[in-house]
Structure 1
């Protein structure tokens, strides 16, 4: 049975989507997050309620070593049959930090490391294990765009990602903390575009995908070949699902974005 790996799939819309994937599509899940104490009760509930396989792995996406360890564990679980065919990787977990600049164990600004860099590495390490029709989903936002309501609230993204990764070092004045989160989401959007371009160029049927932020909730940004819904705005091959007001409604919209009856989403 196809399996979807979701970072942050044990809370918020990530959890709601996990439930819908389990109940509506009977897909197996891998919940990935930094707290096994929080994930395990959710995993047990999903197994008991929906009769699916639910595994857990513990990547702290702010730590490259932790991501490598979790990816290696995932490879082992695939090899021994604990995880069936890996149909999708959903890069959903993230943080929005304020206050003084903090750094990951690898020396990068923590928001950048957690939201983008760790997910970049996770996808790189698991890409070869994706099914031929697999999907890679990035939870993003419109916060980088000053013309959107989100952008006006959060602040404009820093155009130089390296400047964010190393902000405040070498005695230089750090960039505004209001730019941290939008910049990481812009990185994910651009990564999704570039990965999609490379996949199409290589003839791969795997699709790269990217969501939208609104107060306290998230939805998804998905790449589709052909799909039309009133609540979806198209930019080239990227479909942006507009903001929904609660996790249940957002998840319903996420689950509309599917191809060949396989769902690839979270938020």
Structure 2
């Protein structure tokens, strides 16, 4: 009679396949199969499934936005919890736009990923569920941070202050929402070594923009104000008055040209922008 070892060597099973090959095969299957079928075959296939869904340098949670059924969302978060307890090599985290993680879930993710250098939070409602300045206590190695600001203005300065306090290595910052002179001042004073600043798709006061262009951010290399609604001191759209818009563009571009470190200034004011026209 053949021993178990001899039988196994002559008739290799699926779980004996190289993990990288299995992962490649799994990635070709449907998401439903990856969530509900493959992990239940055996421990080896569960590990490969986690590897397929999560194990790379980016922890991309935006897949949750594509899951319409609550059962799928719950299954995904269950596997996410298993993955977080096994892996620790993530460099970046992208949170979903629609799916909202609760207070303890957000804290749990932050606690398990203290070494990430990039966090992107496209959902403004997360601030009403879980104040993001608490997870920032764990993300002290951050170099890149993007967030859509909550309608609650009081939280803006809290978040900026917490970033200044916890994250000394921030080189790229993106805030999207309503940016006033107060937020701009806090950023200019709090991040003197900032290299990339992204205000795209925001409502931006003219004073806030001029404050950034004054040259105090001596290392600023790239500034993005694409598709921004620029407001004057009275809160009115500068683009509604052609003479005012012309004067504003001239002054803004003059300041940008004298900004010694600035090499990339992305804006919509040089020519008509169909995106902004439609939005307006």
How high is the TM-score relative to the length of structure 2?
0.29
Which structure has more helix as a fraction of its residues?
2
Which structure has more strand as a fraction of its residues?
1
Whose Rg is larger? 2
